[in-house]
Amino acid sequence: MGLALLATLAVVTALVDPGSASSRPATPPSVPAGFSDTAETVMGTLVAPPSARFLTRIRNGKMGGVILLGNRWLTRGTAAAVTAELQQAGCARGEPLLIAVDQEGGIVRRLPWAAPTEAPDEMSTPSVAHAQASAAAAALRSVGIDVDFAPVVDTPGSAGNFLGSRAFSHSRTWNARMARAFVGGLQTKGIAATAKHFPGLGLASGNTDNGRIVIRAAASKLHQGLLPFQSAVHAGVKLVMISTAVYPKLDGSKRPAAFSSTIINGLLRKKLGFKGVTVTDSLTAPAAERIPHTATRAMLAGSDLLIFGAESASERGYSTLLGDEPGSPRLQARLTQAAARIRALKAWLAAHGGPACTG
């Protein structure tokens, strides 16, 4: 290995945890025996029934949850069979998995046979939103899914905002009422709700899945959009999804929100008082993928649960955390903290009819 390459590696190491380069092993450690805090924070990604290799990764303790993407394959029978197989593999290593979908209603509906039957902007009253969410919760529970990455509580600033029918309305006060109702509808039936996409994509020029989005609005304008998130937090929402857009007026470092301690710990946790699980929007989004040691950087910033748009990226994320952890006391502490929040969520789910391992 040349001196120039060694110097480059030292710089990358310092970026992950300044001052830790000298203590890091030259090669990543072997996978720890049993289940680990590291695995708890990583969600695997499925777009089809799991392969034998995927199930082996679960049995070996390399993920703490699974997100089911796509919708054509998720029939009622297939969804139930897949989640049962996943949980059997999870319980082989002693702990149930979180299994999640995006079930917003309208154009984002992974289970096309299940509620919500109306798009968010078609839900006419809080009681309708509550009923739609309650019906969705019953459907999710019937096929072994325990987390809904919904509702969208962003407030679009214009009719041309990319969220379209995914948002309840263009009124932050109305969205606050609808957020509380939808969260209540899911969680009274034992399904964990997720308020997204913090601190808001209502002023975004496009979808963060398709490009690097910078929202240049003034902090005062962005703070106005926090009202629905605050309402969801007060309603006891279990998860908040952090966006991968950049908010220069909220964090001068110009890091995407999922990589910003200022936004996650300062705004969401201290200002709004959120104590549950923070989950990233997809870390395969363009703004996220360009950040070195993506999974580690998101974890250090305060993101608890990491999701990816492809299983290969999920595997890389786990490997990155596993390699960076031994030389970084900061990362070790964050993984312990994040895993404790995720296990508390699993305990809540188990107490409300969700998955649990017996025997």
With cut-offs at 50, 70 and 90, classify the pLDDT of residue 31: very low
pTM: predicted TM-score of the whole model, two decimal places: 0.90
3-class secondary structure, 120: helix
Environment class of 37 (CB within 10 Å of its CB; exposed 0-12, middle 13-18, buried 19+)? buried
Token pair, residue 25, equals 């092993």
Mean residue pLDDT across the chain: 91
Residues shown for the chain = 359
* Homologous superfamily in CATH for domain 38-351: Glycoside hydrolase, family 3, N-terminal domain (3.20.20.300)
Q: How far apart are CA 260 and CA 244, in angstroms?
A: 10
State residue 86's pLDDT score. 98
State residue 71's pLDDT score. 87
Whether the pLDDT of residue 4 is over 70: the answer is no
State residue 35's pLDDT score. 60
Q: How far apart are CA 140 and CA 146, in angstroms?
A: 7
Domain ranges of the chain: 38-351
pLDDT tens per residue, range 267-324: 999 999 999 999 999 999 999 999 999 999 999 999 999 999 999 999 999 999 999 9
Give the DSSP H/E element, type plus range, for residue 338. Answer: helix 329-351
